[in-house]
Amino acid sequence: MTTYSAKSIDELPTLWDGFAKLVRAGLEITAFGANIMDLPPDYSTRSHDESESGQQELYVALHGSGSVDIDGVPLPLDTDHLVRVDAGTARVLSSGPDGLRVLCIGGVPGGAYVPPHWSSTGD
């Protein structure tokens, strides 16, 4: 029985031309969701709210800076700031002029984690 898994970020499976690195799938994590997203400079994602999945999400900047925008309010996201967002709350991730590498961790409070199909395969 394997009790650990370790890989470099570059060894993880990817989606969307390398925009997303599948941490959960790459390290065979079953308890929660985890992905790394590499946002290019001055980029914003589409708004999403995780109401379907019920997931609470934690955003941790690994490199660069940006924000998590909620109701038009930019919450700083850099190596000194973390942001947690509950399901049902719309959010947009935005990068600054140097781009942003962000670790996204998600799970359903009080429930078992069920990974979305797209997060299991990679390109």
The number of domains in the chain is 1
Q: Tell me, yes or no, if the pTM score tops 0.85.
A: yes
90 close to 49: Cβ distance less than 8 angstroms: yes
Residue identified by tokens 């038009």 is: 72
Domain that holds residue 63: 33-110
Give the Å distances, CA to CA, from 8 to 13, 26, 46. 11, 10, 28
The number of beta carbons lying within 10 Å of the beta carbon of residue 27 is 15
The DSSP code for 51 is T
In 3D space, the residue among 55, 4, 58, 60 whose CA is nearest the CA of residue 28 turns out to be: 4
As given in the structure block, the two tokens for residue 26 are: 């790459």
CATH at residue 105: 2.60.120.10
101 lies in some domain:
yes
- 97 found inside a domain: yes
Q: What is the pLDDT along the chain (123 residues), one digit of tens a residue?
A: 678 999 999 999 998 888 899 999 999 998 899 999 999 999 999 999 988 888 899 999 999 999 999 999 999 999 999 999 999 999 999 999 999 999 999 999 887 777 666 666 655
